[in-house]
Structure 1
């Protein structure tokens, strides 16, 4: 029988990654080889694999780097953007290590054994290609050789042993102290459901993303224009690792997805995990960490047993001072299903006046929405059209809540629209998706 990615069933999905992998690259007989060795530790939560990368070029260069791999699926590990240099002699490679961004794909190579094959996310037309090449002309030839290896050479690592890498730094890599390897600081949540919204920080250019929660795939190569189909994440008790993968860099590199996660309710906090942030630029993966502990059950207070009223003889006179006959049947309470608020983002602005523009970016299908600002109705039952409509809004100091409510589902559910916010001389774009169970909410924080 065959297990994951063609591995024998005796090999677990976890042990297929751990151990030591290596390769040697020597295109010409007269040039010393470049040797690469990768040591992978046991994972945390079956997802996060600390690792050490060693790169040597004879006596001309030596580098050792700590980095993090994140399991994307049964056959691929996402490569963390930041490779922290422990040793770099006699010069540093700086941003060139980003040429190794992408995924490592596990392959069973028959008689040749197991392989890890690098699948790069290319940094086409990006300005780091020549950075640092001529800082010291003495090392120029060595740098060219190393740079070309990192940038374009096929990286295929063969397994040399299965013993996991063990080092005290492995927990530091996973738990991120002063060095960011791709895992954010832990966030405590009092609720077991997180709200999720995904925005494209630039424009829809065919960026796609994959989302994995504690080893379970929530979304696989999801285009950002369809991202509103995800609106919540149910947490496990204890530690929760949410891994966000950039599958590609779209038509306009890099991938600019921004994941907005709320910890629930109006009092909850909103957290952003943004591929556009400088620390994640041209990254392959970033990991959010949420901690949820269910509250202990509250035992009900013991109640006094109810004593039934004695039955009354209809011929017996009524003591009207101590008893009143009900005048109407007991009313049955009616419960109306409410709509939850799904936060789509938060803006911080320095001007009191902003302009909101609502339009239909795709097919006009008769969507009708209402718009409230801080509880005041600004538009009631407005049809969303391609031409769009603008509203000027005066903000109060602090947080201003903009609520978008669907009045119908149009001909093509759900109710969708595009919101442009003009403020501080800039334009921000948000995509709305509402129905009879959820509103969209945008918070604008005004601090002059």
Structure 2
């Protein structure tokens, strides 16, 4: 496209070169922008949202910027490119921005070098508010050695997270929102298939699992809007290998994703190869069983494992200003043999602990930001469901939370550690 509102000034020329896609979803691209003495080239990632739209990755990495840099102004292009087609079959891409009116970067950097102020003002206003329609010139894909690097992820973050290996076909999914009632909506696409289409977060939270395809899986999370309190603050938490596996967060609130319109999780599903069964031969009368321990007082107890189909149910969120907190688990009702396990940020703190009236305490060191505490029922006790009381001691205060878990749901508590709180 070429933008020239007045005949006496140079035109702003913009060219977008798009590479062949990976998984029919991820399109590496290069944006070229020229105006007078200014020339800029930027690598960015486009992600297919639906048949008519490409989401624009937040980070536009500058390959060339002369004689000054545009800094955060390139974020004015965040949004989607929407396919347009005329009656004469001419094809174009129209930019639909997610506005950044409240972001506070409108004037930043304008007067760093006053010699270029007029050029900067014109470029800034073009990026910020002018209509952008890119006409299709040809069908030749952009070819460059960097295209695969942009998908595989290296030191430059274009919006695709590092690959995660999973031996589990079904992953758990939990969605959180810092400001749940500000009307954030999201879209989720898995390997080109729509899982959620412009759902309000309170509805998207009902999603509990994702079933992977064999091999590479790309999960794209789109912010459809910035809600009433910009930006979109959805946090997608995916668990691998059942509830004993790792959990990974993909958070629009993270600084690297702030005001993003899309981020991509990459999972590699590598199913376990089943082992040939080994036939057990019972011992003869004069041959002792090698499973018997003469020093054992009681045989080892093997806990039943129930891991499939569980969802994470959040019981609350707590903000603290101290790195060290104490968690206390106890039974305030009848001791009925409830057994629970406790994980903090994916690490098992207590495995198969019986909940008693006396209670048990755990000292926990928090990391900065969000810490996820997961409580998992290992049985249902004599009186289902599995229940307990959690006391959290932090900042000289005590907070109480009630747990109720079973073989279909875990309880989750998020503790936000803010050091300067």
Normalising by the smaller structure, the TM-score range is: 0.7 to 0.9
Query: Is the 8 Å Cα contact of residues 371 and 402 (structure 1) preserved in structure 2?
Result: no
TM-score when scaled to structure 1?
0.70
Query: Is the 8 Å Cα contact of residues 251 and 257 (structure 2) preserved in structure 1?
Result: yes
Q: Which residue of 2 aligns with 1:239?
A: 216
Query: Is the 8 Å Cα contact of residues 228 and 433 (structure 1) preserved in structure 2?
Result: no
Q: Which residue of 1 aligns with 2:83?
A: 106
Secondary structure in structure 2 of the residue aligned to 1:161: coil
TM-score when scaled to structure 2?
0.75
Query: Is the 8 Å Cα contact of residues 177 and 233 (structure 2) preserved in structure 1?
Result: yes
Where in structure 1 are there 5+ consecutive unaligned residues?
1-22, 305-334, 357-369, 380-391, 408-418
Q: Which residue of 1 aligns with 2:323?
A: 350
CA distance in 2 between counterparts of 1:402 and 1:193 reads: 20
Choose from 174, 177, 184 the match for 2:161. 184
Using a 3 Å threshold, how does the CA distance of structure 1 residues 340 and 236 change in structure 2: closer, same or farther? closer
Query: Is the 8 Å Cα contact of residues 173 and 209 (structure 2) preserved in structure 1?
Result: yes
Using a 3 Å threshold, how does the CA distance of structure 1 residues 201 and 444 change in structure 2: closer, same or farther? closer
CA distance in 2 between counterparts of 1:395 and 1:303 reads: 41
Q: Which residue of 2 aligns with 1:136?
A: 113
Secondary structure in structure 1 of the residue aligned to 2:256: helix
CA distance in 2 between counterparts of 1:223 and 1:400 reads: 25
Q: Which residue of 1 aligns with 2:12?
A: 34
Query: Is the 8 Å Cα contact of residues 168 and 242 (structure 2) preserved in structure 1?
Result: no
CA distance in 1 between counterparts of 2:21 and 2:98 reads: 24
The within-5 A match list for 1:211-222 is 211-222=188-199
Using a 3 Å threshold, how does the CA distance of structure 1 residues 154 and 395 change in structure 2: closer, same or farther? same
Query: Is the 8 Å Cα contact of residues 353 and 393 (structure 1) preserved in structure 2?
Result: no
Where in structure 2 are there 5+ consecutive unaligned residues?
282-303, 330-337, 343-349, 366-371, 381-389
Deviates more, 1:288-297 or 1:252-261: 288-297
**RMSD of aligned alpha carbons:** 3.8
CA distance in 2 between counterparts of 1:132 and 1:427 reads: 47
Choose from 47, 63, 80 the match for 2:25. 47
Q: Which residue of 2 aligns with 1:174?
A: 151
The within-5 A match list for 1:188-267 is 188-267=165-244
CA distance in 2 between counterparts of 1:425 and 1:225 reads: 33
1:169-225 Cα deviation digits (max 9, x unpaired): 101111111100000000111211111101002343111111111111111112111
1:440 pairs with 2:411: yes
1:33-76 Cα deviation digits (max 9, x unpaired): 00000000000010000000000013x21000000000000100
Q: Which residue of 2 aligns with 1:73?
A: 50
CA distance in 2 between counterparts of 1:129 and 1:214 reads: 36
CA distance in 2 between counterparts of 1:110 and 1:337 reads: 58
Query: Is the 8 Å Cα contact of residues 214 and 242 (structure 1) preserved in structure 2?
Result: yes
Secondary structure in structure 2 of the residue aligned to 1:148: helix
1:77-129 Cα deviation digits (max 9, x unpaired): 00000000000010000000000000000111122710100000000121111
Secondary structure in structure 2 of the residue aligned to 1:396: strand
1:378-419 Cα deviation digits (max 9, x unpaired): 99xxxxxxxxxxxx99533479643589x9xxxxxxxxxxx9
Q: Which residue of 2 aligns with 1:367?
A: none
Q: Which residue of 2 aligns with 1:122?
A: 99
Secondary structure in structure 2 of the residue aligned to 1:29: coil
